[in-house]
Amino acid sequence: MKIGLAMFFTDYSMRPEELAVAAEQRGFESLWAPEHSHIPLTRKSPWPGGGELPKMYYDVMDPFVTLTAAAMATKALKVGTGICLVVQRDPIQTAKAVASLDLLSNGRFLFGVGNGWNQDEIENHGTAFATRHKLARERIEAMQAIWTTSKPEYHGEFVDFGPMMTWPKPVQKPHAPIIVGGAFPYSARRAIRYGNGWMPHRTRQHYADVADLVPQFRQMVQEAGRDPAELPITIWGVKEEYDALCRDRDLGIDRVILSLPAEKADTILPQLDRWAALIKRLG
């Protein structure tokens, strides 16, 4: 089982290249960066984490910029969006950003995607909140066409373009894995439909631990005619406990993600050192 790190990179956190080097040195598999273009001062939808929205949400930098810095400073560490808000992005431009980062990182990019919870933020981008899930699917399908064909075109309800030429193509074939983030069961269904992996949070209001739902997810995968091996599970949120990590590993979880605070090295590095010992014990 692989262990990754996530941080909201801000002007007061560790720099992405600094954290990336520290993570690679200590045996972490991947580094993830979230995305919020901005946070409106109005709020129609509550933060899924409950309570007040943490300051780092307002301050986070662009994930493609921070992950490029992280990739350039390392050799083996994978870098991923956790998650990219595709409903707030132009698919043609985003496809180029994904392919460019995959090329620059020599095939180390993981494309974590999600459809968002902040209605005001989403609507500021001209996206209708009620139809965002279909929009996301069409944009992802359109990007898949761009990455895998020399003269891609796509014709949907929300995304529509004729034949074009656009490079680079991704190093990974057919493209960087699309890891669909979100809660059970809806994001699980979206992962099965167009994803290459599923990335839920450990806990949500309607379940105490998503690991309990893994057998049900794998059954859904099989019923849809897909191989569960094609849809590895990444769980966002992990405890600093060896036994808990072993339970996830024995369940067949592919990866767990440790969320770090947006802090400097003097706070973060001692945490990484403790985790490095756990990573060695897990083998």
What is the per-residue pLDDT across 120-167, written as a single tens digit (0 to 9) for each?
A: 999 999 999 999 999 999 999 999 999 999 999 999 999 999 999 999
Q: What is the pLDDT of residue 49?
A: 84
Distance CA 233, CA 244 (A): 16
60-77 pLDDT, tens digit per residue, is: 999 999 999 999 999 999
Q: What is the pLDDT of residue 204?
A: 87
Q: What is the pLDDT of residue 156?
A: 98
Distance CA 34, CA 58 (A): 12
Q: What is the pLDDT of residue 205?
A: 79
Closest-CA residue to 169 (of 113, 109, 114): 109
Those residues whose C-beta lies under 8 Å from the C-beta of residue 262, and which sit 6 or more positions away, are 7, 8, 9, 10, 12, 13, 56, 59, 60
Q: Is the pLDDT of residue 191 over 90?
A: yes
Closest-CA residue to 34 (of 177, 181, 203, 197): 181
Higher pLDDT, 50 or 214: 214
Per the confidence metrics, is the pTM higher than 0.95?
A: yes
> Any idea which residue has 């440790």 for tokens?
258
pLDDT band for position 256 (cuts 50, 70, 90): very high
Q: What is the pLDDT of residue 239?
A: 86
Neighbours of 8 (CB within 10 A): 23
Q: How much is the mean pLDDT over the chain?
A: 97
Q: Which of 128-142, 181-195, 200-214, 251-265 has the lowest mean pLDDT?
A: 200-214
Distance CA 6, CA 33 (A): 6
Q: Average pLDDT for residues 79-98, to the nearest whole number?
A: 98
Q: What is the pLDDT of residue 95?
A: 98
DSSP letter, residue 150: S
> Any idea which residue has 């369940």 for tokens?
251
Beta-bridged to residue 113, according to DSSP, are 84, 180
DSSP letter, residue 216: H
Beta-bridged to residue 85, according to DSSP, are 114
Alpha helices in the chain (DSSP H): 16-25, 55-59, 63-72, 91-104, 119-124, 132-148, 186-194, 214-223, 242-251, 265-282
User: Is the backbone peptide bond immediately before 83 cis, with ω within 30 degrees of 0?
Assistant: yes
Cα torsion for 28, 116, 60, 124, to the nearest 10°?
A: 160
2-282 is classed in which CATH architecture?
Alpha-Beta Barrel (3.20)
| 8 A C-beta contact, residue 1 and residue 30 | no
3-44 pLDDT, tens digit per residue, is: 999 999 999 999 999 999 999 999 999 999 999 999 999 999
Q: What is the pLDDT of residue 200?
A: 97
| 8 A C-beta contact, residue 110 and residue 80 | yes
